[in-house]
Chain A
Amino acid sequence: MSSDAFTPGIVPARLEAEAYADHFSDLHPRLDAHEALVAADRCYFCHDAPCITACPTDIDIPLFIRQIATGTPDAAAKTILSQNIMGGMCARVCPTEQLCEEACVRELAEGKPVLIGQLQRYATDHLQEQGVHPFSRAAATGKTVAVVGAGPAGLSCAHRLAMLGHDVVVYDARPKAGGLNEYGIATYKTVEGFAQAEVDWLLQIGGIRIEFGKALGREETLESLRAGHDAVFLGMGLGGVNALEAEGSDKEGVLDAVDFIADLRQADDLAQVPVGRDVVVIGGGMTAIDAAVQARLLGALNVTLVYRRGRDRMNASVFEQDLATSKGVRIVTHAVPRAVIGNGAVREIEFDYVDEAMAPTGQALRLAADQVFRAIGQSLVGEGLPALEGRKIKVDDAGRTSLQGVWAGGDCAAGGDDLTVTAVAEGRDAAMDIHKALTGAAA
């Protein structure tokens, strides 16, 4: 039986078959060589450039843009990748409008920054599509390091350690490497299997072995990893999803946004991914936006994103918010879920409007809903972990935890934004400190 946008319930194939490829195509098609030269020419090559300061991985942006402008994109890629081994993914998913491009002096001068993110992608794609891996390993140190989690933090750490001559074993609970790059980012941001291609390219350094299906606290313990390796890096991210504190939130059709996003990324045929007619997403971060936009792209008739505070407090950038509204997502702010209503399966969801102090205003909102996505944050899970700070692992500037020989970085570690680029920086910096601790050498 065929379905369309008006079909009630959670059903697959709401769109014509050919619409999926169009809806989930590259959000920012890559610059061609001419466009890259035009964009690169706009860079002023600032002194001690503010874009570098704004980049969590401190990429020398003016230098790599100058390298593009002078016809050496592979040199540009090496400039990028030597600071950020996942520069290709970061070029796709970084909220550049809040980082390098916000700091660009041309943003101040004209309101139009240099297209740093797109230029970065131009350079990294140019190199990586040739299959060239520009880094090589130092002489073997004889040390081995365990890395927990094959996401951005773990792979960044592993690559740097391998480059410095250490052997690395990466343990990941999932059947594929990449972490959120593979399971947690909207499909249109990383098309054509880029996340896996990047992992394969990264592993060309050698000296990194990945053990799939091995989770900390399940197949492995921190004690056994510490015993079996010279150092341990924890980069397993946040495995838990925060619960929805609303009456009836156990009803059928109330789901985790991260699972929806992961299912979409892993689907061989997007037409087979079911989606509701009336979808409500609760949350205000990137995950909420990615779920809401993709629900619309799958053909949901009505998608409403509901956030408890004002738009200015949303973790999702203005660009992401605008992307959502441009795709037809309705954004409702200052509303807190009170009750999920339905006989077995969700049918409606009721919210209380609140003021800036989160106090109820006495007004309510009731939305039709056959599918509700929770996207109100994720949390660290696990026992026997190093000391926490708040709800995450406490680390110092070098990524050291309270346990001797154990470092941590990425989303599971306290401090820093929960961004891919921040995870890459923390993994890299922890690797440098691990190297120092294992060899006594300053790299």
Chain B
Amino acid sequence: MADLTSDFVGIKSPNPFWLASAPPTDKEYNVRRAFGAGWGGVVWKTLGLDPHVVNVNGPRYGAIYGADRRLLGLNNIELITDRPLQTNLDEIKVVKRDYPDRAMIVSLMVPCEEEPWKFILPQVEETGADGVELNFGCPHGMSERGMGSAVGQVPEYIEMVTRWVKANTRMPVIVKLTPNITDIRKPAEAAMKGGADAVSLINTINSITSVDLDLFAPEPTIDGKGAHGGYCGPAVKPIALNMVAEIARDPSLGQIPISGIGGITTWRDAAEFMALGAGNVQVCTAAMTYGFKIVQEMISGLSDYMDSKGLTSVDQIVGRAVPNVTDWQHLNLNYVAKAKIDQDLCISCGRCFAACEDTSHQAIAMSADRTFTVIDEECVACNLCVNVCPVEDCITMEAMAPGLVDPRTGKVVEPDYANWTTHPNNPASKAAE
């Protein structure tokens, strides 16, 4: 069993798996169950000023599904806590007292003025909480009132509020970013300038999950109407991974610590976020889908992975894939691969053929007895056949060794790296020196 102990901006937890600020961390009962199941920390559901907000009394969630109703994406229109501030503070205090080894972060959202922050921060400190997370991400409801993503979409506001918070508390400050912007690096930079100890991302994405075709209303539908909600779950993971990587690989952001969020469902998802620069991860939809017990698979999976790689600390995973994230123009154009179909694994469904023949490069041949083979003369190694094949590892992309002739182009595979910046077809290419 590898040591999974995590230290994120000075906040210690027995593992890097936190529950994100969301319905699962709304109150003492849930959080006690989460800690009982083994979660390393929680970000308590966002507190605001009294009088507390109210939620709709109809459906709060909408979903999209994969095969067998596997929940792939979840949308919500729930607001921040709808309980009195003091109730939450009292519960935070007793839970932290009973679980001193777990991370207790408190998410906050108050109006965009300094006084409310001066008012609420000392009360949070008094609970013994380990840190605060500023909710600049919530995209529905609160944003209509000038909070949440309404702040997160204006870098100047992020910087200003972060500075107020840092000036009024000794606790570490994590700024939670909204993905509903064009360039995630701008709000991250603003948080850094304001003195944030870390950023966390992504919050949910503006979304309508489906439309009721009888009512002609978006779902979830409240009395015939629907409003956009925040999208999360496995479907958003690729978007979140990219945004995490964009921040992690930007030298001007000074390697600001990142708490990774967005569709993390398994240990592998968590490890991927960490490899792209997240110091720890936060989970919500997976717990809402399967219950708190899933953390046990995350713990065992990450531990087994670290043991198999000879890693002794989670920090050794963090950022290891960042140097390999680059821009398209720097990809090696001399690298040539070809698809290869393992005939022993092939079940002859023909999906690779349909995909390639109809939508790609006509590079797969089909025989009368349903044997599918790659035509190297046509294959551009696009990978679509790999992606649509229902059998794992049946189709693989095999690199051609330098010196061989690519049957598609008739050219020898060059051993040297060469990219678009020096390619003769690039009008802006610079001649190799």
**Interface presence of A139 (CB below 8 A):** no
Given contacts A41-B67, A41-B68, contact A47 B351 (CB under 8 A): yes
B351 touches A45 (CB 8 A): yes
Closest chain B residue to A62 by CB distance? B349
Query: Within residues 355 to 397 of chain B, which ones have a CB less than 8 A from any CB in chain A?
Result: 366, 370, 390-391
CB-CB nearest in chain B for A107 = B347
Known A-B contacts A41-B68, A44-B390; the reply to A105 vs B347 at CB < 8 A is yes
Q: Within 8 Å CB of B391, what residues of A?
A: 109
**What class of interface size applies to chain B in its complex with A?**
10 to 19
In the complex, what residue of chain A is closest to B352 when comparing beta carbons? A47
A109 to B366, CA, bound (A): 19
The residue on B at minimum CB distance from A39 is B68
Please report which residues of chain A, range 1-51, place their CB below 8 angstroms from some CB of chain B when the two chains form the complex: 37-38, 41-42, 44-50
A42 to B349 alpha-carbon distance, docked (Å): 13
B71 contacts the other chain (Cβ, under 8 Å)? Answer: no
CB-defined contacts of A109 to chain B, threshold 8 Å: 347, 390-391
- Tell me, in angstroms, the Cα distance from A49 to B348 when the chains sit together: 9
Contact at A46–B67, with CB atoms within 8 Å?
A: no
Instruction: Tell me which of A45, A49, A105, A106 has the highest count of chain B C-beta atoms within 10 A of its own C-beta.
Output: A105
User: Quick check: A47 and B353 within 8 Å, CB to CB?
Assistant: yes
Q: A108 interface residue, CB < 8 Å from B?
A: yes
Q: What is the bound-complex CA distance between A50 and B351, given in angstroms?
A: 12
Q: Would B67 and A105 count as touching, CB distance under 8 A?
A: no
For residue B354, CB closer than 8 A to chain A, the reply is yes
Interface string of B301-338 (1 = CB under 8 A from A): 00000000000000000000000000000000000000
Contact A50 B390 (CB under 8 A): no
State A109–B390 Cα separation when bound (angstroms).
Answer: 10
Of all chain B residues, the one with the shortest Cβ separation from A108 is B347
User: What is the bound-complex CA distance between A47 and B349, given in angstroms?
Assistant: 6
| Residue B350 interfacial (CB < 8 Å) | yes
Asked if B350 and A46 make an inter-chain contact with CB atoms under 8 angstroms apart, the answer reads yes
Q: Provide the bound-state CA to CA distance between A41 and B70, in Å.
A: 11
B68 touches A105 (CB 8 A): no
In the complex, chain A residues whose CB is within 8 Å of the CB of B350:
46-49
User: Do the beta carbons of B68 and A44 come within 8 Å of each other?
Assistant: no
Identify which of B349, B353, B354 gathers the most chain A CB atoms within 10 Å of its CB: B349
How many angstroms between the C-alpha atoms of A3 and B350 in the bound complex?
Answer: 59
Report the bound CA distance from A41 to B69 in whole Å. Answer: 9
Residues of B within 8 A of A50 (CB): 348, 370
Q: Which residue of A lies closest to B390 (CB)?
A: A44
- In the complex, the answer to whether B349 meets A46 with C-beta atoms within 8 Å is yes
Min Cβ gap A281→B in Å is: 39
CA of A48 to CA of B354 in the docked complex: distance in angstroms?
9
Task: Enumerate B253-286 residues with CB–CB distance to A below 8 Å.
Answer: none
Contact partners of A47 in chain B: CB under 8 A: 349-351, 353-354, 366
- In the complex, which residues of chain A have a beta carbon less than 8 angstroms from the beta carbon of B390? 44, 109
Residues of B within 8 A of A38 (CB): 68
CA distance in complex: A42, B353 (Å): 19
Write out, one digit per residue, whether chain A residues 43-65 have a CB within 8 A of any chain B CB (1) or not (0).
01111111000000000000000
Q: In the complex, what distance in Å separates the CA atom of A46 from the CA atom of B354?
A: 8
Q: Which of B69, B351, B366, B370 has the most CB of A within 10 A?
A: B370
Contacts of A44 in B (CB 8 A): 349, 351, 390
Separation in Å of the B384 CB from the closest CB of chain A? 14
> Bound state CA distance, A176 and B353, in angstroms?
49
**Which residues in A have their C-beta under 8 angstroms from that of B68?**
37-38, 41
| Bound-state Cα–Cα, A37 to B66, Å | 12
Contacts of B353 in A (CB 8 A): 47
Q: Interface code B62-78, partner A: CB below 8 Å = 1, 0 otherwise?
A: 00000111000000000
Cβ–Cβ < 8 Å partners of A42 in chain B: 67
Q: Do the beta carbons of B348 and A108 come within 8 Å of each other?
A: yes
Residues of B within 8 A of A105 (CB): 347-349
* Chain A contacts for B351, CB-based, 8 A: 44-47
With the chains together, A330 CA to B353 CA distance in Å?
A: 48
In angstroms, Cα B67 to Cα A46, docked, is 16
Question: CA–CA, A106 to B391, complex, Å?
Answer: 10
Give Cα A42–Cα B348 distance, bound, in whole angstroms: 15
**What is the chain B residue whose CB lies nearest that of A109?**
B347
**Distance, CA A105 to CA B390, complexed state (A):** 11
Interface positions of A from 389 to 403, Cβ below 8 Å from B: none
A318 CB to closest chain B CB (Å) equals: 21
Most B CB within 10 A of own CB, among A41, A44, A47: A47
- Min CB–CB distance B300 → chain A (angstroms): 26
CB distance from B320 to the nearest CB of A (A): 35
A50 to B354, CA, bound (A): 14
Q: Please, how many angstroms separate the alpha-carbon atoms of A47 and B357 in the complex?
A: 11
- The interface bits of chain A over 98-118 (1 if a CB of B lies within 8 angstroms of the residue's CB, else 0) are 000000011011000000000
B373 to chain A, nearest CB (A): 14
Nearest chain A residue, comparing its CB with the CB of B394: A109
Considering the complex, give the chain B residue whose CB is closest to the CB of A47.
B350
A50 to B366, CA, bound (A): 13
- Name the residue among A37, A38, A46 with the largest chain B CB count within 10 angstroms: A46
Which residues in chain B, 40-99, are within 8 Å of chain A measured between CB atoms? Answer: 67-69
- Write the nearest CB–CB distance from A161 to chain B, whole angstroms: 34
Nearest CB in chain A: distance from B35 CB, A: 35
Q: Once the chains are docked, how many angstroms separate the CA of A44 from the CA of B350? A: 9
Asked if A106 contacts B347 (CB within 8 A), the reply is yes
List residues of chain B with CB within 8 A of the CB of A37: 68-69
Q: How far is the CB of B392 from chain A (nearest CB, A)?
A: 11
- What residues of A have a CB within 8 angstroms of the CB of B370 in the complex? 50
Q: How far is the CA of A109 from the CA of B345 in the complex (A)?
A: 8
Shortest distance between the CB of A53 and any CB in chain B (Å): 9
Closest to B69 in A: A37
Complex interface: chain A residues within 8 A of B69 (CB):
37
CB distance from A65 to the nearest CB of B (A): 12
CB A41 to nearest CB in B, in angstroms, measures: 4
A45 CA / B352 CA spacing, docked (Å)? 12
Residues in A neighbouring B348, C-beta threshold 8 A = 46, 50, 105, 108
Residues of A with C-beta under 8 A to B354 = 47
A38 and B354 alpha carbons, distance in the complex (Å): 24
- List, in ascending order, chain B residues with CB within 8 A of A41's CB: 67-68
Tell me the complex Cα distance, A306–B271, Å.
Answer: 63
Residue ID in chain B nearest A40 by CB atoms: B67
Give the complex CA separation of A46 and B370 in angstroms: 11
Across the interface, name the chain B residue whose C-beta is closest to A53: B370
Q: How far is the CB of A115 from chain B (nearest CB, A)?
A: 14
Interface string of A137-174 (1 = CB under 8 A from B): 00000000000000000000000000000000000000
Point out the residues of chain B lying under 8 angstroms from A48, CB to CB: 350, 366
- Complex Cα–Cα for A109 and B346 (A): 8
Distance in angstroms between the alpha carbons of A42 and B351 in the assembled complex: 14
- Shortest C-beta distance, A100 to chain B (Å), equals 14
The chain B residue with its CB closest to the CB of A42 is: B67
Instruction: State in angstroms the CA–CA spacing of A220 and B151 once bound together.
Output: 90
Measured in the bound complex, the distance between the Cα atoms of B353 and A46 in whole Å is 10
Q: CA separation between A232 and B247, bound complex, in Å?
A: 79
A47 CA to B359 CA, complexed, in Å = 13
Determine which residue in B68, B366, B391 has the highest number of CB atoms from chain A within 10 A of its CB, and name it: B68
Tell me the smallest distance from the CB of A321 to a CB of chain B, in Å: 27
Q: In the complex, what residues of A have CB within 8 A of residue B67's CB?
A: 41-42
Q: Please name 5 pairs of A and B residues whose Cβ atoms are closer than 8 Å in the assembled complex, sorted by A.
A: A44-B351, A48-B366, A105-B349, A108-B347, A109-B390
With contacts A47-B353, A105-B348 known, what are 5 further pairs, Cβ within 8 A? A38-B68, A41-B68, A44-B351, A108-B348, A109-B390
Instruction: List residues of B whose CB falls within 8 A of some A CB.
Output: 67-69, 347-351, 353-354, 366, 370, 390-391
Nearest 4 interchain pairs by C-beta: A47-B350, A47-B354, A41-B67, A105-B347
